[in-house]
Amino acid sequence: MERSGDTLVAPRKDTGQAAKVATDFRSGRQVPTAIFAPADIRPAAEALRDIARDLGNFRVAACANIASRSPMTDAEGEVLASAVFGWPSTKEQWWQKPLLALSSPLPFACRYENEPFWANAHGIHTRAPNPLLDQIDLSLFEGEVNAKAVIVVPVHMSFGQIAAISFSPINDKRDDLSREFDLYSDQLEYHARRFVNGYTRVSSQRPWIPKKLPPLQA
C-alpha cells in the first residue's frame, strides 16, 4: 500500500477500478461504512459490499458474533447476507448455522488471531507467524467455506465478543489471494472494523454492565 497524506491507495502498478478506491481516514466522506444509528446499517453494508467488489471482485460474509445464532440484519430486519451481500439462496445459508464458531475453520481461527489473514486449503497465512493456526483442520476447506480462498478480518470487541468478516472471490476459481492480501488487506480491515463495531454498538440490547455492582467481599 502507498500513503498519500491520510489516504491509503493501491500501488500505481495496479490498474483498473481497484486503483480508484481510496479512503479518507479522517473524514470518511467517500464511503459511509460508519454506523451511528440503525438506519445507517444498510447503507454502510452496501458501501462495504461495493468496496469489496471494486477492490478484488469479492463477496462479503459478515458475522458480528461468531457465538450467536442471530444473523446481521438492517433496521427493517432484512438479513444482510442475502439482501445486501448477495449470497444466493441456492448456496447453504451459512448464517443460519448454529454454533458457527465450531463448524467452520475461519471463525475458529478468529479465536486465535486478531489480525487479518488469508486462507485456502493449504494453510492460514498471516502477517506474522501464529503456530496455533497450523493445528486447524483444513481438509474440508472449500465445502465449509464456500470458496477456494478467502481474506478474513477478525474483530475482537468488548466482553469477549468476536466478529468475523470474510471476503471471497465472486464467480472465479482463485485459490491464491497472496497478491490481493498484500494490496488490499489494510483497506478491507479498516472498513470491516468500522462496519462491525458500529453495527454492534447500535444493535446490542443487552444490559452488559449491572447498574449496581455488588460490594467486594473482605
Domain limits of the chain?
A: 2-203
The reported pLDDT for the residue numbered 45 is 97
* Strand partners for 156: 162
**In whole angstroms, what is the distance from residue 35 CA to residue 200 CA?**
9
Question: Which range is least confidently modeled, 90-94, 103-107, 186-190?
Answer: 90-94
Which homologous superfamily is 2-203 in? Transcription factor LuxR-like, autoinducer-binding domain (3.30.450.80)
Q: Per-residue pLDDT for 21 more than 70?
A: no
> What number of CA atoms fall less than 13 Å from residue 88's CA on the CB side?
5
Residue-wise pLDDT tens digits, 38-80: 999 999 999 999 999 999 999 999 999 988 888 899 999 999 9
Q: Per-residue pLDDT for 18 more than 60?
A: no
Q: What is the DSSP string of 165-186?
A: EEEEESSS-----HHHHHHHHH
Question: Which range is least confidently modeled, 23-27, 183-187, 191-195?
Answer: 23-27
The CA-based dihedral angle spanning residues 40, 68, 80, 28, taken in that order and rounded to the nearest 10 degrees = 40
The reported pLDDT for the residue numbered 158 is 87
Residue-wise pLDDT tens digits, 130-175: 999 999 999 989 888 888 999 999 999 988 899 999 999 998 789 9
